[in-house]
Chains A and B, each alone.
Chain A
Amino acid sequence: MYERSKAAPQDNPIAPVDDVGWSALVKGGSFPMSERDILLQIAQVLTTMLLAPLIQGIIVQFEERIQRAQGPGLFQPYRDLWKLFHKQIVVPQTASWLFFAAPVVAFTCMLVVPILIPVLTNFPLPLSDMGDILGGGLILTLGSFMIVLAGLDTSSAYGGIGSSRAVMVAILAEPTLILVFVGITLLAKAMLPFVVNHLLVSSWAVYWSPAHLFLVAAFFILLLVETDRMPIHSSTHIEVYMIDEGRILEYSGPLLALIKWASAMKQFILYTIFCNVLILPWGLSVEGTAIGAAGAAVALIIKFALVACVVVFVETAQSRLRFFRYQEPLAASFLLAILSIVGTQLS
């Protein structure tokens, strides 16, 4: 079940504001490399892998229902993946080894990031000290970089267009992402997602401070941009203004399935960071028991459904912009990140 009640009163002896060393977060001081923690870490990665298509299905289904259509059902992405894995691969003549390597690398990157962030537990697990928020961002970006290379590799016109657009948007989104990370760092005085989570759970004043609210808003826009839901797209995916779809038009069969799965997992990871680190930091497993982890997974689905409602609402209510106004949401997000940094300087 939901573990919120446990999280509140008898809470862990953590004071996130004064200097939080890594060891303070781990129960018992130093790293207990217990088997339970290793299992939990594996469970985090498996949760990301297995639930990612479900989140995609929830968003698509909500979107269809809000447009008064029937919708394909929550489990359609699983059926799509199953179908694609049973098809044969068609490779363009111009493709090099990169064409095969890119989906695998992208998928592997998405398997690495869940190790670093709080998916199920609110305390660090083995190997989650490999990298901080910036490290996670680097690995996420590496995945999309490989897909960009693969889009250019086949030298098809659409792949080139898709890749160049993706890079253009990334150039504009990246400074904002860095600023959001800087804002988080200044807010929590640490670059570890777990510390931010503890700080927000323990203090309402920080949760409702303008700095945090602006960070949430800035990251929400980034979330829309990174999951390819900018208001410049229409609801169908293959169209003139496609960005992410353009890069992978040449792929087919299991390779396409890997890419689609990786992008669903990227969406899942970004939603996890948004929910568990920024906006809904409750409902994570505190003790690390099996039932707590299962409850955390259920809570995660509920939280994602809430965020998906907001995303679908924004996407439906926001009228579609001209393509060349794609920089405006990013400028707004940059501005919000700057305001949040100003807020952290003053709090």
Chain B
Amino acid sequence: MLVQHLSPIASSLFSLLAIACLLLSFVMLGSRWLNNYLYAFAAESWIIAVLSAAVGFYGNYPELYLIAILTLLFRGLLLPYLVWRIIRRLDVDREIHLFLQPSTSLIVGALFVMLALSVSFRIAAELHLQLTVATLALTVMLSMKLIGFLILALRHEAVSQILGLLVLENGIFLGSQILVPGMPLLIEMVILFDLLIIVACFGVLVGYLMTHAGTTSSLDLKRLVG
């Protein structure tokens, strides 16, 4: 396993990048403008691409460079561009009704990070992972998943829900890059295409919602239509 023998520079670089990702998902959680979500998501994907390249460099996995480039193109450019097109088509540019104010949701997110930390300490103890980068990767992965769920639960706009789903997926991808970097290339490509399909489906769904329900907010979708 790569994480068992890392140079100190590599491990601090990995932890810095992972924590930067976590911070960007908090930016998504704390802002209310859809454009800001999108920029934060794009930046997060770029950081994950850098992280894959770094893992490839320090762990001698040449195929990870390819994955880094694919991540950059798909997650960093194509997906944000598609979501940006959806946002441009809509006439909403921010969340209007919020369950929780941004400051409160930041605090809830911070509590989730603490939960993730304690859980990943337990997991690391079970798996006998001595190195802290592994624990950090687990923590960041779990807390990004929890934050993604939080975004899915708290936001009503369809676009924010797509982005919540994408954050959730980014978290898993980040954790897998650090913890199991030798994942076969094919699986990675399948995941990327899956994401593309998800966003395309959401685009179709948003268009459908606009024409039939006149809104993209899940708050207004209360009536069952046969």
**Residues of A participating in the B interface, judged by any CB pair closer than 8 Å:** 205, 208-210, 214, 325, 327-328, 330-332, 334-335, 338-339, 342-343, 345-347
Least CB distance from B169 to A in Å reads 22
Task: Find A205's partner among B12, B22, B106, B139 (CB 8 Å cutoff).
Answer: B12
Known: A339-B19, A342-B117. 14 other contacts (CB 8 A): A205-B8, A205-B12, A208-B16, A328-B106, A330-B103, A331-B30, A331-B104, A331-B106, A332-B106, A334-B106, A339-B22, A339-B23, A342-B113, A346-B135
> What 5 pairs between A and B have smallest CB-CB spacing?
A331-B103, A338-B110, A210-B19, A331-B106, A346-B132
- Closest B-chain residue to A172, C-beta based? B103
Closest Cβ neighbor of A325 among chain B residues? B103
Partner of B132, one of A208, A214, A332, A347: A347
Q: How far is the CA of A338 from the CA of B136 in the complex (A)?
A: 14
User: A334–B107 contact, CB under 8 A?
Assistant: yes
Residue-wise, chain B 19-32 has the 8 Å CB interface mask toward A (1 for contact) of 10011001000100
Residues in chain B near residue A332, CB distance under 8 A: 30, 103, 106
A-B pairs with beta carbons under 8 Å apart, 8 shown: A331-B104, A331-B107, A332-B106, A334-B110, A335-B106, A342-B114, A346-B132, A346-B136
Q: Which residues of A contact B102 (CB under 8 A)?
A: 328, 331
Question: Which residues in A have their C-beta under 8 angstroms from that of B15?
Answer: 209-210, 343, 346-347
CA distance A225 to B15 in the complex (A): 29
Q: How far is the CB of B110 from chain A (nearest CB, A)?
A: 4
Chain B residues contacting A335 (CB-CB under 8 Å) are 26, 106-107, 109-110
For A328, list chain B residues within 8 Å (CB).
30, 102-103, 106
Nearest-CB residue, chain B, relative to A328: B103
**Residues in chain B near residue A209, CB distance under 8 A:** 12, 15
- Bound together, the chains give a CA A347 to CA B135 distance in angstroms of 10
State how many angstroms separate the Cβ of B99 from the closest Cβ of chain A. Answer: 16
B114 near A327 with CB under 8 A, answer no
Given contacts A328-B103, A330-B103, A339-B22, contact A208 B110 (CB under 8 A): no
- Which residues of A lie under 8 Å from residue B16 when comparing CB positions? 208, 210
Instruction: Note all chain B residues with C-beta closer than 8 A to A346.
Output: 15, 117, 132, 135-136, 139
Report B124-140 residues with CB < 8 Å from chain A CB.
132, 135-136, 139
Q: Give Cα distance in the complex from A325 to B135, angstroms.
A: 35
**How far is A214 from B110 in the complex, measured between Cα atoms in Å?**
13
CA distance A30 to B23 in the complex (A): 45
Which of B15, B103, B104, B117 has the most A CB atoms < 10 Å from its CB? B103
Q: Are B113 and A339 in contact (CB under 8 A)?
A: yes
CA distance A303 to B114 in the complex (A): 35
**Cα(A331)–Cα(B23), bound, Å:** 13
Q: Which of B15, B106, B132 has the most CB of A within 10 A?
A: B106
Q: How many angstroms between the C-alpha atoms of A196 and B15 in the bound complex?
A: 22
> Which chain B residues in 77-116 approach chain A with CB under 8 Å?
102-104, 106-107, 109-110, 113-114
Which residue on chain A has the smallest CB distance to residue B16?
A210
Q: Which residue of B lies closest to A330 (CB)?
A: B103
Q: In the bound complex, do residue B139 and residue A342 qualify as a contact, i.e. CB atoms below 8 Å apart?
A: yes
- In the bound complex, residues from chain A placing their C-beta under 8 Å from that of B136 are 346
A contact residues around B106 at 8 Å (CB): 328, 331-332, 334-335
Chain B residues with CB under 8 A of A331: 30, 102-104, 106-107
Chain B residue, CB-CB nearest to A327: B103
A208 with B109, Cβ < 8 A, contacts A328-B30, A328-B102 known: no
Interface pair A338/B30, CB less than 8 Å apart: no
Q: Flag if A345 contacts B110 (CB, 8 Å).
A: no
In the assembled complex, the CB of A204 is this many whole angstroms from the nearest CB of chain B, namely 10
| Distance to closest chain B CB from A340 (angstroms) | 9
In angstroms, Cα B136 to Cα A210, docked, is 11
Q: Which residue of B lies closest to A337 (CB)?
A: B110
Q: How far is the CB of A232 from chain B (nearest CB, A)?
A: 13
Bound together, the chains give a CA A276 to CA B222 distance in angstroms of 58
CA of A168 to CA of B8, assembled, Å: 44
Which A residues are in CB contact (< 8 Å) with B12? 205, 208-209
Provide the bound-state CA to CA distance between A134 and B217, in Å: 48
CB proximity of B201 to chain A, nearest CB, Å = 33
Residues of B within 8 A of A342 (CB): 113-114, 117, 139
Q: Which residues of B sit under 8 angstroms from A330, Cβ to Cβ?
A: 103
Look across to chain B and name the residue whose beta carbon is closest to the beta carbon of A345.
B117
- Nearest neighbor of A213 in chain B, beta-carbon distance: B16
Closest to B116 in A: A342
Residue of A nearest to B18 (CB): A210
